[in-house]
Structure formats: C-alpha cells, structure tokens
Amino acid sequence: MLGLGTWENEDPDQCAESVRTALEMGYRHIDTAQAYGNEDAVGEGIAAADVDREDIFLATKVWISNLDYEDVLETTQASLDKLGTDYLDLLYVHWPSRAYEPESTLAAFDELYDEGTVKNIGVSNFEPRHLDEAREHLDAPIFANQVETHPMLQQTELREYADEHDIEIVAYSPLARGDVFEVDVLGEIAEKYGVSEAQVSLAWLRENDVTAIPKATSEAHIRDNWESLSLELEEQDLERIADLDRTRRKVDPGFAPW
C-alpha cells in the first residue's frame, strides 16, 4: 500500500541511496519509469539493499515514444538491464499518447506477460474510456492504473471504476507536490494526531484502498511517509478530507488524455 516514488530523483547517488534506505526501512514497492532517467540508479539501490529481489515489488513504465510493438519489447529489455533484474513485477503504459496504439502496444505487453518477463500489466493516466478499450485488447488482466491522486484530486470516478473491475489505483504525486502542507483542513487534522500533513494524506489514501508512491529522498522524509502506515484517521476526519475541493491537478502535460 506504500511504495517509494522516484520521479525527479535524478541525482544517481542520491537516487540509489534513497532506494536502499527505503528498502532497509521496510518499503517493498519501488516505482520508476523509462522517462525518469534513473533506472540504473534504482537498480544500484536495490542491489545495495540487504533485501532479496523476490521480496521487492518493482515497477517501471514504457514511455510514450516507445509504445510501438517492437519498441515495447526492446526498451523493456533495456529497462531490465538497467535495473539489474530479469523480470518486472509491474510494467505500465506510461500515458495513452503518441505511439500508443491499443492493439499493437498491448499485444507486446501480453507477450511479455506470457513469457514471464512481466508479472503484472498496468496502465497510467488512463481515463475510463481508455481502460475499456485496453481491456478489450489485453488477454492479461489490468492490474493497476497509476494516476495523480491526493486529497485535492480525489479521482472518485476512476476509483469507482477500479473497484468495479478489480484494478488497483496507484497514486502518484500523493502529496500534491507539497500542496498538502498548505491546506488548512489537513493541517488541523495533522495537529490533532501529532503527525505531518503528508502522513494524513497518505493515511487517507490507504483508507480509500489507494496505494501511494510518494517521492522522498532524505531519510527523514522517507521515514515520515513510512510512519503513515500506523496512522488511523477517525471517520469524521475522513469525511472532512472527502469534502475538500477535488480539482487541483498538478500534472497536466499537453499530451494528457483528459
């Protein structure tokens, strides 16, 4: 339910160290992507940690320029080489954009799944219409949809869709890129429990069956996020968060599908 995100963790030494620190602290879910430019460093962090590879849930994403059938196969192998592993626990389509063609793109994902190179297939930034289309073309199940999700962008429709079709929601930018520290309601709830606003946001996501992958680089922030696992919010606090404005999107590139 809680992983380490690595978006914009671009310094190789820092990235490797944050991955190692998180794994040795107890994290078991590590998320990266071809576009992050840090798969090598993530692999180094995994290798340095005193944790067996089979105990780690490792995910990466195929970038939008690599979504032709052959490119999916070739670049996924390159990702495996950089990460120092012979399989991925989860491989995502990063966005339904540019070279993405459901029939050919997802045929490559099915091939990787069937040969055991990929244990689970995921998508990212998919709206319900894209999920419907992907489910028509995939033989394998869609395991997860990774989307921006936090108290100010609650993704109610996507969470309902995921619940209906047995798909996990994985939240990127679960702290709204720092905006959670500026929301009075979250601050009041954090003060009540003696925790950070980050922990409140992560606990709210967990209570709503959403897996969060906050980026953190320092040991202090990695630990603060980890401690959210022991925070249980009262129903009245969950309701206060549910009533927040839900339209504050932080990641909105021109090629986004919405």
Catalytic residues: 36
240: tokens are 């206060």
Helices (H), 57-170: 69-83, 102-114, 128-137, 156-165
Q: How far is CA 13 from CA 44, 45, 108, 138, 181, in A?
A: 9, 9, 33, 38, 28
Q: Please check whether residue 251 is in contact with residue 44, taking contact to mean a CB–CB distance below 8 angstroms.
A: no
From 146, 152, 226, 140, select the one nearest 186 (Cα to Cα).
152
CA distance 200 to 34: 30
Torsion of CA 112, 113, 114, 119, to 10 degrees: 130
Q: How far is CA 21 from CA 45, 149, 168, 220, in A?
A: 8, 25, 26, 10
Q: How far is CA 61 from CA 43, 57, 109, 123, 203, in A?
A: 15, 14, 11, 8, 25
What are 44's strand-pairing partners? none
Name the DSSP class of 144: E
